[in-house]
A and B are shown apart, each in its own frame.
Chain A
Amino acid sequence: MTPDTLSATFAALADPTRRAILARLTAGEASVTDLARPFAMTLPAVSKHLRVLERAGLVARSRAAQSRPCRLEAAPLRGATAWLETYRGFWETGLDRMDSYLRELQAARAAPAAKARRKPHGRKA
């Protein structure tokens, strides 16, 4: 999973129609006609979304049948999920520390100035 692959995955996922198409494909393979049915969209419009998903490696199309059914490719989604969890951890940890620090800072500022000078703020372990 390279940064460029991740970017392509997220760019493809940014559109709600494309996310809905992927959600439909988690239930199994589907033709373009099947995929177009729940949306008020023309076949070319759906095909355009599918091309974006194919380029991002999120969808593969079989050449076996005339309908060329589409199927979900899970690997990029797993990469995207791992990325989201990494950054969720990054920010949640920082915000936990910020929360404690805000409490210390407010306590120090509320206390008399002399007391605040004796106890400089420091990070909790």
Chain B
Amino acid sequence: MAAKPEPAPLEGAHELVIRRVLAAPRALVWEVWTTPAHVLQWWGPHGYTAFACTMELRPGGRWRVGMHSPAGDTMWTSGEFHEVVPPARMVMSFAWDDAGAEAPMLGGPTVVTVELGERDGQTELVLRQHGFATSASRDRHAQGWIECLERFVILL
């Protein structure tokens, strides 16, 4: 059989990975990512303007950013910090509170990991986003229920 090249999309099909080199020290990039006044300056898709931001920067703390769309709609992104390791790493859940008509495209809650590495005064940023946070937590819930049912069956 003729060797077919493996289609490129499948290799990274399960997660989003974005790498960037930013011309700033790591401590400053961390500050700009985690301070509400700074977040308002950069957060959001093309044409959107962030107008509100709260961050409880600790594991278990909540974050929330409000944006105005180009059409004038208000949209919110929010989540919870799972890991906060300044100035190197954060893991957070990410969801749209009410994405309206765009909800099917934006999907359910996800997990975003941001890692900052320093090299010669610049910052290497690696962002990963997994598209299946709900499924994983749902599976854990399901497993819990199955175990409960199994115990129940044994009791019978």
Contact = CB atoms under 8 A, between A and B. Distances in A.
Contacts of A106: 24, 28
Interface stretch (B3-11, B53-61, B80-88, B147-155): B3-11
A121 to B, nearest CB: 7
Nearest to A92: B18
A43 interface: no
A11 B16 CA distance: 13
A6 interface: yes
Interface in A4-30: 4, 6-11, 13-14, 19, 22-23, 26-27
B107 A94 contact: no
Interface string B5-49: 011011111111010101110001100110000100111111001
Q: How large is the interface on A (under 10, 10 to 19, 20 to 34, 35 or more residues)?
A: 35 or more
Contacts of A4: 108, 134-135
- Classify the secondary structure of B's interface with A: mixed
Interface in A66-125: 77, 80-84, 86-95, 97-99, 101-103, 105-106, 121-123
Given A10-B130, A86-B105, A97-B41, A23 B6 contact: yes
A95 B17 CA distance: 13
Q: How large is the interface on B (under 10, 10 to 19, 20 to 34, 35 or more residues)?
A: 35 or more
A91 B22 contact: no
B41 A26 contact: no
Contacts of B45: 89-90, 93-94
Interface of A: 1-4, 6-11, 13-14, 19, 22-23, 26-27, 77, 80-84, 86-95, 97-99, 101-103, 105-106, 121-123
